[in-house]
Amino acid sequence: MRPGERLRGLVPARGLGPVRGLRAARGLVVAALGAALGAVLLAALLAGCGPRDRPDDLLVVYSAGPRGLAEAVTEAFAEEHGVRVEFFAATTGQVMARLEAERHRPRADVVVFASRVAADALKEAGRLRSYPNPHGVDRTRRSWHDPDGYFHATSAAWVGMAIREAAWDPEAHAELEWSDVFLGRFPGRVTLPGPSRSGAAGDFIVARTLDLGEPAWDEYREARRAGLDISAANSQAIGGLLVGAYDVIVGAVDYLILARIEDGAPIRFHAPPSGAALVERPVAILDHTPVPELAEAFVDFYLSPEMQARVAAVHLIPVHLDVPPSEIRARHIPVEPRAIPVDPAEALAEQTRILRRFQLQVERAEVIR
């Protein structure tokens, strides 16, 4: 045996076997029949049985980041109520995807999003359960909640720009606008967290597109042509900024930037004069939940001053009026920026179309440079 033969045996044999011509071909065609046969057999085998019952001391929470905060809150809740919490942390997009995949076999009881629009979409689809009066809701910013009580903001953040100090020119950039960046002020040095992953970036794109109308699309395309890079998620964008691969993140969520600034990173947060997007982070109860009381208790718990203090600690804006924002936030974003005006009804109606179009024409499009 030659040495090569021995080695060859160990190469993944991705071969389809010898070409056995038409006989095997006919076999494959018949395989379709076989597949159907298998399907019928299995369906017959399993028909009629629904999902299993769940213990009533288990709460399933799907939460968008920050992971640390979500973990802390669920752990504290589990401890205080003596229950178990199953917990899935991901981006808003991933959480939405999982909910969709599980539409016919629901598992989650409570979801936390980093996007109001996502919660609106679920509400519209009739998949949320109303909880009109959480405990202590009076001491929170009521305007951030759903008027019908289908979801409640736990916190909020501003979506603006993050810029490397090295690239920041206080004079020239004080009035820096979205359009400046999109239209090529920092060619090849700009990134945007992918709206299909990052709920905050998604909300920002929806808000800006509705605000500007059709010209927004020209801007996005122009930005891609000027080398706008779409990052997978916020942390990848921030990583790139810290390393120096980018100078600017458009659609940066402030609390993540503030956390890095606290660590001493030479970056800053900038809200353009025309407005930044305010992104609430709603918590919602799914309508099929077998443990509604537990789910409601979780919402109450999230809105309590103790948990709101934890929210503030990660530099988010707490929804509770008695809990002050973190010191870094107070220092770096002393005055609330102007908010890009959004009509919630319009946002809800248009968001899927906008995000899909953004994916196809900007995010994953082949751009002719």
Q: Contacts with another protein in 179-198 (CB under 8 A)?
A: 194, 196-197
Structure tokens at 203: 């909300």
- Asked if 116 and 282 touch (Cβ cutoff 8 Å), the reply is yes
Question: Which residue type is seen at 367?
Answer: V
Q: How far is the CB of 258 from another protein (least distance, A)?
A: 17
Per-residue x/- marks for another protein, 336-355, CB under 8 A?
---------------xx--x
Residue 84 found at the interface with another protein (CB under 8 A): no
Q: Which is nearer to another protein, 53 or 171 (CB)?
A: 53
- In one letter, which amino acid is 140? T
Q: Please, which residue, 137 or 205, has the CB nearer to another protein?
A: 205
- Prior bond to 66 cis, omega within 30? yes
Decide if 282 contacts 152 (C-beta within 8 A). Answer: yes
Q: Site map for another protein, 93-132, x if CB under 8 A?
A: xx-xx--xxxxxx-x----------x--------------
Q: Which of 58, 83, 88, 212 binds another protein (CB under 8 A)?
A: 88
Among 95, 146, 93, 100, residue whose Cα is nearest residue 127: 100
Residue 99 beta carbon to another protein: minimum distance, rounded to whole angstroms:
8
Q: Which of 59, 85, 89, 226 binds another protein (CB under 8 A)?
A: 89
**Beta carbons within 8 Å of 81's beta carbon, 6+ residues apart:** 294, 297, 301
Tell me if 263 contacts another protein by CB under 8 A: no
Query: CA–CA separation, 222 vs 114, rounded Å?
Result: 28
- Tell whether residue 30 is a contact of another protein (CB under 8 A): yes
Instruction: Kindly state the smallest distance separating residue 191's Cβ from another protein, in Å.
Output: 10
166 part of the interface to another protein, by CB under 8 A: no
304 contributes a contact to another protein by CB under 8 A: no
**How does 53-70 read in b/e, with b if 16+ C-beta sit within 10 Å?**
eeeeeebbbbbbbbeebb
Size of the site for another protein (CB under 8 A): 99
User: Could you tell me which stretch among 131-139, 213-221, 225-233, 254-262 binds another protein (CB under 8 A)?
Assistant: 225-233
How many angstroms separate the Cα of 38 from the Cα of each of 34, 42, 46, 104?
A: 6, 6, 12, 22
Shortest reach from residue 169's CB to another protein, in Å: 21
State yes or no: residue 28 binds another protein (CB under 8 A): yes
Q: What is the gyration radius of the CA atoms in the chain, in angstroms?
A: 25
The verdict on 201 binding another protein (CB under 8 A) reads: no
199 binds another protein (CB under 8 A): yes
What is the closest distance, in whole angstroms, from the C-beta atom of residue 115 to another protein in the complex?
8
Q: Does 50 bind another protein (CB under 8 A)?
A: yes
Number of helical (H) and strand (E) elements in the chain, helices listed first: 15, 11
* Closest alpha carbon to 231 in 242, 223, 222, 240: 240
Contact between 27 and another protein per CB under 8 A:
yes
